[in-house]
Structure 1
Amino acid sequence: MKVIKFGGSSLATGSEVEKAINIVRADPARQVMVVSAPGKRFSGDVKVTDLLSELATATQAGQDTTTLVEQILVRYMTIADHFELDGQRVGDHFRNHLQTIAETDYPNSEFLFAAFLAQGEWMNAHLIAQIMAKLHLNARCVSPADLGMVVVGSPRQAQLAPSSYDRLADFPLIPGETIVVPGFFAFDQQGHIAMFARGGSDITGAILARGLGATLYENFTDVSAIYAADPHIIAHPRPINTLTYREMRELAYAGFSVFNDEAIIPAIQGNIRINIKNTNDPEAPGTMIAPTKEVNHHHLITGIAASDGYTVLYIHRYLLNREVGMTMKILQVLAKYHVSYDQMPGGIDDLSIIFAKKHLTTTIEAALTREITTAVAPDRLKWLPDLAIVEVVGEGLSHRTDLIARILTQLATVEIAPVIISQGAARINLTIGVDTTQAAAAVQALYALSEEEK
């Protein structure tokens, strides 16, 4: 049995939905279809999830939402019309459903937003199941609750409760039937909707692949492979045929948006391979993500990713390394304000804490500055606000003693002096912090190394 997931761009229009359904019907092993909300149809278009976010904001503010609701509904009605379903009937049903969502009482605004944002996937799953039934395919919509998925944590950053896997293992898959499952959300123990991280349909697919015992998790999107670098920076970069779980985790963290980095974890736990494929070219092999022992790399560097949007808190204090519990004091301040950090490289007198900007506000930065200053009395504390992370990833980093030296030499040739350099303990990645304005140039300078074969 295979789990197959389609991203929003693969389900944005009736013709795209038709391609997805044909891909499912082409392989009887594809019994579990995970769907996202309809994405952008063209450049400048708006995703349904973003429209639902606007709807949540307007609802909370008590504003008239009639026009916004109709803008959302027309996306589904147009898809229904493509398959000669009664689009008006579909629209009326979903309109009533959204009204019910709007009239529900929620514990707080976070749960309200989660409930609204989840409806893009919910409506799409119900519609696609109807379409497949009209096409005389044996399919039905199954909700995360029916599957026994229960989540814990915050309503907009939920995580699956481990006990859910026992219930998933007991879910009966009927031979010859396809279940259509909305991605991105599940329910907590109180029955409230909670979402996985953005891109959470990838996570849903991985959870189902592990819990239902899939032989393969196929993730269909709008690209034919994962590439060794961002095609917006490098023209026609090399496609990656295979990469390891941990390489994908590092690349996804640093900006490869093809696959959610959290979604790798259930696949690792279930030892399930992930195949990234193109809805518009389903016969292309795509990129296979697999356990390390199954991957035979031909290149020293697997991929280079860059992502801006980082901030560094630099702390200097003489004899920082001598005082027991110094780092703990800093972490306690971060925990007080519910702020997570990405990395924390340091020296005997210095510590740099790398944050994603999305985790910070001006108010939080001021509070961290004040309380860390009180807690550890640094000789110097400053924020470096515009940092980009360039991540060089590959199993070859642990095999060639000269490779890191060559990476830094390449950067020197274009006069880029890293702000931060950090190598992970697994020795498969090198994190290089540079000024945001230098990120693209750094990738361009390093890409030549990724072309070299072993």
Structure 2
Amino acid sequence: MKVVKFGGSSLANGEAFQNAINIITSDPQRRVIVTSAPGKRFSEDIKVTDLLIKYANAVINDQNPSKIVEQILNRYRDIADYFDLPADNLTPLKDRLEDLPRQIYPNDSYLLAAFKAHGERLNAQLMAIILQHLGYEARFVTPSEAGITVTGTPNNASVIPETYANLSQFAFNDNELLVFPGFYGITLAGHIATFSRGGSDITGAILACGLHASTYENFTDVDAIYSANPQIVDNPQPITKMTYREMRELSYAGFSVFHDEALIPAIQGNIPINVRNTNDPDKPGTMIVPDKDFQPSDIVTGVVSGKHFAALYLHKYLLNKQAGFTLRILQILAKHNISYEHMPSGIDDITIILDRNAINDQLIDTICNEIQEEINPDRLEWIDNYAITMVVGEGMRDRTGVISDILVSLAEKRISVTMINQGSSQIAIMIGTDDNDADEAVRAIYHRFFVN
């Protein structure tokens, strides 16, 4: 049995729905379907999730949301009309959408989560109705019915282990197609909570693990995962097969085709993931598999850069002689709920690399002031334009000279390296540069390993 997830662009309109249905029904092993909310139909379009956020904000601010509600409903009506679905079949969707403001929510964050989740919920319900209309045995299943239980904040939930026990007891027959909405689960108190944006990937992985699927097929709008960003490197090599940990390392710095948190349930269940193109489903796509017995075909699997980093540099003589020096810095970060990404150090220096998206200018000034007062460093510097380039590949473990090849390729382009780090797994090398050099660094490294 396979779990099949479709992204928002793959379910944006009636034609896309038909394409997805053709994929579903072409393989009898595709039994569990996970839907995203309808995405953009064209570049200037707006995603249904973003319309639902506008709907939620209108309700929170006591504004009339009727025009937004009509705009949302029209997206689903257009899909239904493509299949000549009787108008009364959409009544449950309309009633559900209009009833959202009348529900009771603990606070506005829960309200926002519930509204956002309905892009996926209504699309899954519509998919089941259309499949039934076309003569297939299909069932719409909510996270509540399946027992997908979560904790965490309303808009950044995490699945809990009981979910897998619940799914193992979920009953279904051998002929029916099960249609699940992606992106959300139910809290222990019975409220809707969403995963992080793009979280339908997570739902698919949870179901693949809990229902013991043979494969998790993730259909999106690209042919495969590529060895570099096609917007940076012309015609990069597609990756035919990679390991979970390679994908995890590449996702960290910017590979966005597959949600990195979705790897965890797949790893737990040892479920292979196949990323494929909805618009060209005969192409094999990219397989993401366990690392056990994996035989790499290339030295490097992928090169990716992330420009969303910043760094805090401290210099203090005899730093290495002071017990608890690093702890005092980390306590300041923890007090402000700031996690750090990396902390390369020398005998008199520490560089703390942070996610720039998770910290604002006011917070930067606050933590710098507190570190100055607590530590009194000889030099304290904030580096805003920081980029990290990840070079990842299982094939690097058994190959000497990889770091030399990387540094030579960067030196030839006169790119200054501010940090280099290789983890103990030996499958990933992290390089720090100025963010203005990041794209050229990716091209230089890619050319070294793939073109040469």
Which stretch of the first structure deviates more once superposed, 45-54 or 323-332? 323-332
How high is the sequence identity, in percent, across the aligned residues? 49
Once residues 12 and 326 of structure 1 are traced to their aligned partners in structure 2, the CA distance between those partners, rounded to angstroms, is: 53
Corresponding residue for 1:171? 170
- Structure 2 partner of 1:345: 344
Aligned partners of 1:9 and 1:216: how far apart in 2? 22
CA contact (8 A) 1:228 1:450 kept: no
Distance 2:320 2:168 in 1: 49
What are the Cα deviations for residues 313-358 of structure 1, in whole angstroms up to 9, with x where unaligned?
2222223233222222222222222222222222222222222222
Deviation at 1:89, TM superposition (A): 5.7
Contact 2:275 2:287 in 1 (8 A): yes
C-alpha distance in 2, partners of 1:383/1:68?
43
Quick check: 1:319–1:349 contact (8 Å CA) kept in 2? Answer: yes
Correspondence for 1:297: 296
What CA distance in whole angstroms lies between the structure 2 residues aligned with 1:285 and 1:339? 41
Q: Residue 52 of structure 1 corresponds to which residue in structure 2?
A: 52
Q: What SS class does the counterpart of residue 341 from structure 2 fall into?
A: coil
User: CA contact under 8 A between 2:89 and 2:129: conserved in structure 1?
Assistant: no
Structure 2 partner of 1:69: 69
User: 2:240 aligned with 1:241, yes or no?
Assistant: yes
Structure 1 residue 277 corresponds to structure 2 residue 276: yes
Tell me the amino acid that sits aligned with residue 342 of structure 2. Answer: Q
Aligned-partner residue type, residue 37 of structure 1:
A
Residue-pair matches, total: 452
Tell me the distance in 2 between the aligned counterparts of 1:348 and 1:34: 52
CA offset at residue 174 of structure 1? 1.4
Q: How far off is 1:146 after superposition? A: 1.0
Deviation at 1:389, TM superposition (A): 1.8
Compute the displacement of 1:48 (Å). 1.2
What is the aligned partner in structure 2 of residue 156 from structure 1? 155
In 2, Cα distance between equivalents of 1:161 and 1:387: 35
C-alpha spacing 1:215/1:63, structure 2 compared with 1 (3 Å): same
1:352 is paired with a residue of what secondary structure? strand
For 1:12-91, what aligned pairs fall within 5 Å after superposition? 12-87=12-87, 90=90
Which structure 2 segments of 5+ residues have no match? none
Q: Output the amino acid matched with 1:83.
A: F
Residue 373 of structure 1 corresponds to: 372
Work out whether residues 255 and 305 of structure 1, in 8 Å CA contact, stay in contact via their aligned partners in 2.
yes
Contact 1:303 1:450 in 2 (8 A): no
The match for 1:4 is: 4
| Residues 242 and 295 in structure 1, CA contact (< 8 A), matched pair in contact too | no
Judge conservation of contact 1:397–1:404 (CA < 8 Å) in 2.
no
In the alignment, is the contact (CA less than 8 A) between 1:78 and 1:87 conserved in 2?
Answer: no
Distance 2:381 2:89 in 1: 59
Q: Which amino acid aligns with 2:171?
A: P
Q: Secondary structure at the match of 1:305?
A: strand
| Cα distance, 1:294 vs structure 2 | 4.3
Alignment of 1:130-279 (within 5 A): 130-279=129-278
- Match in the other structure for 2:420: 421
Q: CA offset at residue 63 of structure 1? A: 2.0
The residue identity in structure 2 corresponding to 1:365 is I
Amino acid across the alignment from 2:368: T
Matched AA of 2:114: A
Range moving further from structure 2, 273-282 or 52-61? 52-61
Which amino acid counterpart does residue 273 of structure 1 have in structure 2? P
d(CA) in 2 for partners of 1:108, 1:374: 38
SS in 2 for 1:5: strand
Match status 1:316 vs 2:315? yes
**With structure 1 as the length reference, what TM-score do the two structures score?**
0.96
Q: Deviation at 1:412? A: 1.0
* Residue 394 of structure 1 pairs with residue 388 of structure 2: no
Instruction: Supply the RMSD in Å over aligned alpha carbons.
Output: 1.7
Distance in 2 separating the partners of 1:388 and 1:136:
53
Name the stretch that deviates more: 414-423 or 331-340: 331-340
Question: In structure 2, what is the equivalent of residue 361 of structure 1?
Answer: 360
Alpha-carbon distance between aligned partners in 2 of 1:452 and 1:394, rounded to the nearest angstrom: 16
- Aligned partner of residue 124 in structure 2, secondary structure: helix
> What amino acid is aligned across from residue 131 of structure 1 in structure 2?
I
CA contact (8 A) 2:69 2:98 kept: no
Deviation at 1:242, TM superposition (A): 0.3
The more displaced of 312-321 and 286-295 is 312-321
- 1:283-315: per-residue Cα shift (whole Å, max 9, x none)? 111110101134322211100112222111222
Q: Residue type matched to 2:211 in 1? A: L
Deviations 1:33-70 (A, max 9, x none): 01101111112222111222222222222222222222
CA distance in 2, matches of 1:435, 1:51: 37
The change in CA–CA distance for 1:105 and 1:328 in structure 2 (over 3 A counts) is farther
CA contact (8 A) 1:299 1:452 kept: no
In structure 2, the CA distance between the partners of 1:3 and 1:325, relative to structure 1 (3 Å rule), is same
Deviations 1:136-181 (A, max 9, x none): 1111110111111111111121111112111111112310111110
Give the Å deviation of 1:87: 4.7
- 8 Å CA contact 2:5–2:204 kept in 1: the answer is yes
Q: CA deviation at 1:447?
A: 1.0
Give the equivalent residue in structure 2 for 1:441: 440
Tell me which moved more, 327-336 or 437-446: 327-336
C-alpha contact 2:312 2:380 (8 A) present in aligned 1: yes
How far apart, CA to CA, are the structure 2 residues paired with 1:104 and 1:282?
41
Give distance in 2, aligned partners of 1:386 and 1:323: 30
362 and 56 in structure 1: CA distance in 2 versus 1, 3 angstrom threshold = farther
8 Å Cα contact 2:9-2:39 kept in structure 1: yes
For the residue of structure 2 that corresponds to 1:284, the secondary structure is coil
Could you tell me the TM-score, scaled by structure 2's length? 0.96
SS in 1 for 2:63: coil
Instruction: Provide closer, same or farther for how the CA distance between residues 44 and 436 of structure 1 changes in structure 2, counting only shifts above 3 A.
Output: farther
